[in-house]
Structure 1
Amino acid sequence: MSSLRPLHLAAGIGGPPRYDPAHYTGLARLAEHGTLDFVTLGDSFARPGPDALSVLSRVAPGTRRIGLVPTVTTTHTEPFHVSSAVATLDWVSRGRAGWWVDVSTTAAEARLFGRRPAAPAAGLWREAGEAADVAARLWDSREDGADVRDAATGRVPDRARVHRTDFEGAAFRVRGPGIVPRPPQGHPVTVVDGTADPARETAARHADVVLVRAGTPERAAGIRDDVLRRAAAHGRDPGTLRVLAALTVDLGDVESAPEPGLESGPPLAGHGTYYRGGPVDLADLITQWHRSGAVDGFHLTPITPERDLERIVNGTVALLQHRSLFRTFYPGGTLREHLGLARPANRYALRGARV
């Protein structure tokens, strides 16, 4: 992939659970000041804390351009409800929503629901792929403009433009149609960590943004090439995927040398590759990896969000902007526009046009 492609940057705003919405809004605004593509907020059934999707729905009116991507676990949840919640986030943010698709793997998490035991990872990721497929179908099930405003009766649907999904997979059946009008982006952006199989297969089939965790640009490029090859085998245009290296960042208290080559950086459980150094060295690493064509950008997870995100934005990002390697303004208003992704056509509208 050409190194001339735009550089994309995103950041996590997680850390220990907080119950003050101003905390998350402040971090999102800081990332927005740096024109980052999006922020993510992690979540799982294994940790206490507020629901990530609900938190970012609260953050949405306090921000203007930054994309908002909560982790959404597809295990033990109903895809109809998930698709409605993500579509709602896209509406309240005016087209800035995404969702980070994840699975729940432990017996302890399964016991919280009491419906079924924990399943092998392969089965969980097949189910996650079906959930992503169903979500896209439900978002398409109400065509653009299908909900017509009528002064006398309120919002009523144009039934000719409302469609049943009639999906039947291995894990569930969904009739549809959805209950939320088609999102502003058509489909909110789907993010999947595609580092390991079988998550990589789900990423290749359904993701718009694929995260990879690798200690060298060569390793990252190898994963990226495999994801793009699999996407092409599923009939997708590989140019419609964005591959970001996922990096956990500890910028410390002073400028210091990074772990040599990153290869020997100590792994952090649950977070993937670990970087410890200063903002300038991080900018150099991002520049090197992107110019080599290994990735389209980086997703940076600060060890200490309040400290490290400020240093990422005012140090690393400012330097990349000074070098003309990263933008200084948003190219549009939606997350898809930030990422250079087109708004998907509606499959049901296309089918009707062919008929």
Structure 2
Amino acid sequence: MTAGHFHLGVALDGAGRHPAAWRSPHARPADLFDPRYWVDLARTAERGLLDFVRLDDSLGPPSARVPGRLDAVAIAARVAPATGSIGLIPTATTTHTEPFHVSTAIATLDHVSRGRAGWWPKPSRTALEARHFGRKPVPPAGELADEQAEFVDVVSRLWDSWEDDAIIRDVATSRFLDREKLHYVDFRGTYFDVRGPSITPRPPQGRPVVGITVDGPDTLEIAARFADVLFVDATGPDEARRLRERAHAIAEAHDRDPGELRVLADVTVYLAATEAQARRERTHLDARSDVPVPGGLAFTGTPEALADRLAGWFSGGAVDGFTLVPGVLPHGLDRIVDDLVPLLRERGLVRDAYTGDTLRANLGLPLPANRYARI
């Protein structure tokens, strides 16, 4: 995006972030397992010219909300042909799964979306999720982080295992592939031993956009080394600015260009025409929830006030943009697209048209060089 613009995405999960969202009169609980629901949400976000939709998922049901969910990668694959420009960033976990399978799934999504795929790698931290598989107990937090880092590294290498021009389709010589341009990754680590190459050609973006949630020093280190987008849950702009500066320093220490990182703050939003109305609706939701409301930065108020808040964070250099998390869907997304985005556009803070054909292009990220290609 041009100077003065920030990046804006939206997080989609069931009926919304609030545990009682499905009980709101603005929700569509009967449609949560209908693919048309997810297509409608993605098209609404695309109408607002947002950079991406982020699709939450886990290996356990979100028992605090609706006790069931659809697979995020499969949802993204269904949404891809129904949209044309918006990025699609589904969750695929890094615990109890294999890098080879995840790499092919996300690479395939990048192909079917024509370069709009991302990946939100998250570890699985609960005993419930571990019991689904029965192979191992929940590892300690540090081990989960180390495994996540190794997992993301392996996936990235598998995406590079085909050079961009490996497919030649030479009918005269009966050669579909130039095998000199397929590479064994030969990765041997603490958790994974993967030879490769992938069975899926290199994705259109080279490597789909990787977004990692920063929730502590370990994940900050991992994100700064391997991610393109850092999702931060900061209490205020000062904390966000410190995380951004620290991420840039870590990136430089690992020979990465810090200018190729995008630091986005997560903000849960409850919007209405007046602050009083927004607070009434939020209070009504809280009263109908029998479990604690998730923590993190939240905003309850008017689109005008939220526009002021976001502009202040961005102008102060705290972040490169925001991932807005609607408290209730689809109502909260409608308010973002129809009420908030026009205000931001009037201020010159968000785009007025998609300028790129891929998620990387719309995030201002370059096509990564293939580490195995001969120079």
Q: Same fold (TM over 0.5)?
A: yes
Per-residue deviation, 1:154: 8.3
Determine whether 1:14 maps to 2:13.
yes
1:68 aligns with 2:88: yes
Which secondary structure state, in structure 1, belongs to the residue aligned with residue 89 of structure 2? Answer: strand
Secondary structure at the aligned position of 2:156 is classed as: helix
Once the two structures are superposed, the pairs formed by residues 171-320 of structure 1 within 5 Å of their partners are: 171-251=191-271, 253-256=272-275, 270=294, 272-320=296-344
Comparing 220-229 and 87-96, the one that deviates more: 220-229
- Hey, what's the Cα distance between the residues in 1 that align with 2:187 and 2:116? 27
Which residue identity is paired with 2:44? L
* Aligned twin of 2:146: 126
Asked if the contact 2:106/2:117 (under 8 Å) is kept, the reply is yes
**Aligned-partner residue type, residue 256 of structure 1:** E
The alpha-carbon deviation at position 278 of structure 1 amounts to 1.5
Give the distance between the partners of 1:174 and 1:269, measured in 2 at CA: 41
Distance 1:34 1:271, change over 3 A: farther
1:173-213 Cα offsets, whole Å, 9 max, x none, are 10000010000000000000113121111101101000111
Which deviates the most, 152-161 or 75-84? 152-161
Deviation readout 1:99-157 (Å, 9 max, x if unpaired)? 01100011111111111100111111111111111111111101012122255898822
Q: Matches of 2:144 and 2:5 in 1, distance apart?
A: 34
1:28 paired residue number = 42
Corresponding residue number in structure 1 for 2:55 = 41
Contact 2:235 2:296 in 1 (8 A): no
The two structures have a TM-score, normalised by structure 1, of 0.92
Partner amino acid, structure 1, of 2:53: V
Letter aligned with residue 304 of structure 2: V
Structure number with the bigger relative contact order (C-alpha 8 A, sep ≥ 6) is: 2
Amino acid at match of 2:275: S
**SS of the residue 1:347 aligns to:** coil
In structure 2, list runs of 5 or more residues that go unmatched.
16-28, 62-67, 280-285, 287-291
**Pair 1:348–1:9, CA change in 2 (3 A):** same
Q: Closer, same or farther in 2 for the Cα pair 1:309/1:152, shift >3 Å?
A: farther
CA distance in 1, matches of 2:365, 2:142: 29
Question: What's the offset of the Cα at 1:72?
Answer: 1.1
Which residue pairs with 2:346 in the alignment?
322
Quote the Cα distance in structure 1 between the aligned partners of 2:10 and 2:238. Answer: 23
Match of 2:127 among 100, 104, 107: 107
Contact persistence 1:141–1:182 (CA under 8 A): yes
Q: 1:337: which partner in 2?
A: 361
Contact 1:190–1:207 (CA<8 Å) still a contact in 2?
yes
Distance 1:239 1:112, change over 3 A: same
Kept in 2: contact 1:4–1:291 (CA 8 A): no
Q: Kindly tell me: are residues 196 and 223 of structure 1, through their superposed partners in 2, closer, same or farther at Cα, counting changes over 3 Å?
A: same
Q: CA deviation at 1:6?
A: 2.9
1:163 and 2:187 matched: no
1:121 touches 1:198 (CA, 8 Å); kept in 2? no
Q: Counterpart amino acid of 1:242?
A: R
Identity %: 51
Alignment partner of 2:190: what SS? coil
Letter matched to residue 334 of structure 1: T
Q: Residue type matched to 1:345 in 2?
A: A
Bigger drift between 213-222 and 75-84 goes to 213-222
Deviation >6 Å, runs of 4+:
152-155
Task: Give the Cα–Cα distance (whole angstroms) in 2 for the partners of residues 131 and 307 of structure 1.
Answer: 36
Q: Tell me, what secondary structure is at the counterpart of 1:198? A: helix
Q: TM-score, normalised by structure 2?
A: 0.87
Shift of 1:89: 0.4
What SS does the aligned partner of 2:372 have? helix
Cα offsets for 1:56-105 (capped at 9, x unmatched)? 10000000000000011110100000000000000000000000110001
- Supply the RMSD in Å over aligned alpha carbons: 1.9
Provide the rounded CA distance (Å) in 1 between the counterparts of 2:343 and 2:128.
45
